[in-house]
Amino acid sequence: MAGIIDSVDQRTHLAGRNRMELLLFRFEGRQRYGINVFKVREVIPAPELSLVPQAHPASRGIAYVRGQALSVLDLSYAISGHGIQKEEGNYIIITEYNRQVQGFLVGGVDRIININWEEVMPPPSGGSAGNYLTAVARYEEQMIQIVDVEKVLGEINRDSGVDPKTTEGGGVAAAKGADAYKVLVVDDSKMALTQIQRTLEDLGVRVVTKMNGKEALEQLKSWARQEPSGLDDLLMVVSDIEMPAMDGYTLTARLREDDSISSVYVLLHSSLSGVFNTEMVRRVGADEFLAKFHADELADRVRGRLQALGD
């Protein structure tokens, strides 16, 4: 089953083409869920787990994979409050998010599909599970639900007493001259938007938020048409990579092709913290990449940009 995930090098051609690959999985019913393949290291049959005393309710214990201890979370419990009950035939999806490696217990793994981000839609409102979806996509007459894993991990970390600056943002000192600038933040995760906005507002910059690359590109073009230009006080764009309608790679590539906005400074800021990002940042023309989420590191990048403009 580990072979279901090919090498990253074979998949980087999707970057900048507004396409993504989803690993489909189930809990115990027929509903299929999706997770970005770039975030998946490996899929293995669920081994015996060692219980952890006084752990978060979503924790199923520790797995030992090739001599390394791996925290395993019941993703079904985290998003619905109902954990996986069956004892056999389960799998663990080993993932890397926000520089952390963890395993998610699921009832079954289906296949990998390749879809266009334009086919990915915002999730419907309402329902407890809907609060933990970042998007939905239709495939084979069924709606695939794409889980907002960042929100799941953020809430578990917060409940477990992790540093609030890591889970909530903010708590950084103001930066000299920041109030003269605005930052365009692009992310489809409401939790991520809140984290980033708190940090930037503590620095003193004004914040404009958009939920996907398409909206951000339209905003940038609108600013460029203004007199005087609305880009004059734009410090930078801080953009997620995975987003419906238009991803961060495609956003960067499109703005580099448009002379009116081609000089905009772009920091790609994503939980996709694997090794492929340096090459992808160079390929699409972004200025920097930063793995989510550490408020101090984001603040340092913004201060560095302020200093560069002040020199």
pTM value? 0.78
- Determine the Cα–Cα distance for residues 108 and 32; give it in Å rounded to an integer: 10
- Determine the Cα–Cα distance for residues 296 and 153; give it in Å rounded to an integer: 19
The answer to whether 94 and 41 are in contact (CB under 8 A) is: yes
Indicate the fold that domain 164-310 takes in CATH: Rossmann fold (3.40.50)
Mean pLDDT of 261-271: 94
Residue predicted with more confidence, 142 or 158: 142
Tens of pLDDT along 81-122? 899 999 899 999 999 887 789 999 999 999 999 888 888 888
Residue 10 buriedness (CB in 10 A; 0-12 / 13-18 / 19+) = exposed
Quote the pLDDT of residue 235: 98
Q: How confident is the model at residue 9 (pLDDT cuts 50, 70, 90)?
A: very low
Q: What is the mean pLDDT of the chain?
A: 86
Cα 230 to chain centroid, rounded:
28
- Determine the Cα–Cα distance for residues 213 and 9; give it in Å rounded to an integer: 24
Tens of pLDDT along 222-246? 999 998 889 999 999 999 988 888 9
- In 3D space, the residue among 124, 243, 238 whose CA is nearest the CA of residue 189 turns out to be 243
Quote the pLDDT of residue 118: 81
Predicted confidence (pLDDT) at residue 221 exceeds the cutoff of 70? yes
CATH number (2.40.50.140, 2.40.50.180, 3.40.50.1110, 1.20.1260.10) of 2-159 reads 2.40.50.180
Residue predicted with more confidence, 100 or 289: 289
Largest CA-CA distance found in the chain, in angstroms, rounded: 65
Say which residues have a Cβ less than 8 Å from residue 50's Cβ, sequence separation at least 6.
Answer: 61, 62, 63, 64
Domain with CATH 3.40.50.2300 in the chain: 164-310
Domain with CATH 2.40.50.180 in the chain: 2-159
